């Protein structure tokens, strides 16, 4: 899963001054990306089992420092967008055993054995999108400040 806020278009026409603009915008973009990653990781939208998905949410800076955001492992995409009847396919799906004849799992403290399970899916949490929306004003402000500084002090 990847959330990206891109200010490349703001600097595309200023190629000679782009390096200076990126230098001005670098730190605020980096801080906003880190805040977005912390916000997304702090969500209570799902219950951790291993903590790997939450731990995988990391800030990043794209090429040329004109993009910044946060990303997470592939499993986050399923939490973000939902699966089964709540996801793109819009229908329940069947889970079958990989090894052996039966699935076995606990329900209300009792072990259940089944040859297959019809799973309705996971409801979308939109935790990455929500975190992106919370830090978007900081991303935009960093890009605008960089452009204003370049225009004011060429």
Q: For each of the chain's 154 residues, which pLDDT tens digit applies?
A: 566 666 666 656 556 566 666 666 677 778 888 888 888 888 888 788 888 888 888 888 776 555 678 888 888 888 888 898 888 888 999 999 999 899 999 999 999 999 999 999 989 998 888 888 888 888 888 778 777 777 776 6
Rounded CA separation 38/44 (Å): 12
- CB contact at 8 A, 115 and 102: yes
Rounded CA separation 119/116 (Å): 9
- CB contact at 8 A, 43 and 127: yes
Nearest to 69 by CA among 151, 13, 133, 16: 133
Distance of CA 87 to the CA centre of its chain: 17
Rounded to two decimals, the pTM is: 0.68
Rounded CA separation 132/144 (Å): 18
Count of alpha carbons within 13 angstroms of residue 132, beta-carbon side: 18
Rounded CA separation 29/32 (Å): 5
């Amino acid at each position: 899963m990847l959330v990206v806020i891109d200010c490349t278009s703001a600097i595309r026409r200023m190629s000679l001054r782009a390096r200076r603009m990126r230098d001005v915008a670098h730190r605020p973009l980096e801080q906003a990306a880190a805040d977005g990653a912390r916000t997304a990781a702090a969500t209570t939208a799902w219950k951790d089992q291993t903590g790997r998905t939450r731990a995988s949410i990391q800030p990043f800076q794209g090429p040329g420092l004109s993009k910044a955001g946060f990303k997470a492992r592939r499993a986050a995409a399923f939490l973000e967008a939902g699966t089964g009847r709540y996801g793109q396919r819009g229908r329940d799906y069947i889970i079958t055993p990989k090894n052996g004849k039966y699935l076995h799992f606990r329900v209300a403290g009792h072990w259940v054995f089944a040859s297959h399970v019809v799973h309705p899916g996971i409801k979308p949490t939109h935790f990455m999108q929500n975190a992106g929306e919370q830090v978007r004003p900081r991303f935009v402000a960093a890009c605008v400040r960089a452009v204003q500084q370049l225009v004011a002090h060429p």
